[in-house]
Amino acid sequence: MSYLEHYGLSQEPFSNAPVSRFYYNSRQHSEALMRLMHAVERMKGLAICVGDIGRGKTTLARRMLDSLPEEQYEAALLVIIHSGITAAWLLKRIALQLGVESPASDKLTLLSQLYQRLVQIFEEGRKAVVLIDEAQMLASRELMEEFRGLLNLEVPESKLLSFVFFGLPEIEENLKLDPPLAQRVALKYRLVPFDFESTEAYIKHRLRLAGADRVFFSPEAIRVIHKYSGGTPRVINTLCDNALFEGYVANEEIIEDEMMDRIANDLGLHHALGVQQRVTARRRAGLFPESEEQAAGNSPVRRRVDLSEVDRYLESLKSG
Total domains present in the chain = 3
Q: Residue 306 belongs to what H/E stretch?
A: none
Domain co-membership, 68 together with 174: yes
pLDDT at 225: 97
More confident residue, 2 or 312: 2
pLDDT at 83: 84
End of a domain among 157, 190, 223?
190
Closest CA to 150 of 133, 163, 137, 134: 163
Domain co-membership, 178 together with 38: yes
Q: Which residues contact 246 (CB under 8 A, 6 or more apart)?
A: 255, 259, 263
Residue 189 predicted with pLDDT over 50? yes
pTM of the predicted protein model: 0.81
More confident residue, 296 or 184: 184
Domain co-membership, 121 together with 243: no
Helix pair angle (269-284, 257-266), 10° resolution: 90
| 3-class SS of residue 134 | coil
Residue 319 predicted with pLDDT over 90? no
The whole-chain average pLDDT of the chain stands at: 87
In a 10 Å sphere around its CB, with 0-12 CB exposed, 13-18 middle and 19+ buried, how is residue 137 labelled? buried
The C-alpha atoms of residue 201 and residue 225 are separated, in whole angstroms, by: 12
CA 310 to chain centre: 32
pLDDT at 13: 96
Domain co-membership, 64 together with 165: yes
Residue 309 predicted with pLDDT over 60? no
Residue 315 predicted with pLDDT over 80? no
pLDDT at 34: 97
The least confident of 40-44, 240-244, 272-276, 298-302 is 298-302
Q: Which residues contact 32 (CB under 8 A, 6 or more apart)?
A: 49, 60, 189, 191
Using one digit for the tens of pLDDT, what is the confidence trace for 13-41? 999 987 888 999 999 999 999 999 999 99
Domain co-membership, 169 together with 236: no
Using one digit for the tens of pLDDT, what is the confidence trace for 89-139? 999 999 999 999 999 999 999 999 999 999 999 999 999 999 999 999 999
CATH at residue 120: 3.40.50.300
pLDDT at 286: 53
End of a domain among 156, 190, 224?
190
Contact 203, 222 (CB under 8 A): yes
Domain co-membership, 62 together with 123: yes
Detail the DSSP E strand segments found in the chain.
Answer: 46-50, 73-79, 127-133, 154-155, 158-159, 161-167, 185-190
Domain co-membership, 252 together with 234: yes
End of a domain among 146, 164, 190?
190
Domain co-membership, 227 together with 174: no
Domain co-membership, 213 together with 88: no
The confidence band for 273, taking pLDDT boundaries of 50, 70 and 90, is low
pLDDT at 317: 47
Question: What percent of the chain lies above the pLDDT cut of 90?
Answer: 79
Range of the domain at 291: 271-319
Domain co-membership, 67 together with 166: yes
Average pLDDT over residues 171-175: 95
Question: What percent of the chain lies above the pLDDT cut of 70?
Answer: 84
The C-alpha atoms of residue 85 and residue 89 are separated, in whole angstroms, by: 6
Residue 316 predicted with pLDDT over 70? no
Domain co-membership, 150 together with 31: yes
Domain co-membership, 157 together with 42: yes
The confidence band for 174, taking pLDDT boundaries of 50, 70 and 90, is very high
Residue 282 predicted with pLDDT over 80? no
Residue 306 predicted with pLDDT over 90? no
CATH at residue 251: 1.10.8
Residue 276 predicted with pLDDT over 80? no
Average pLDDT over residues 181-209: 96
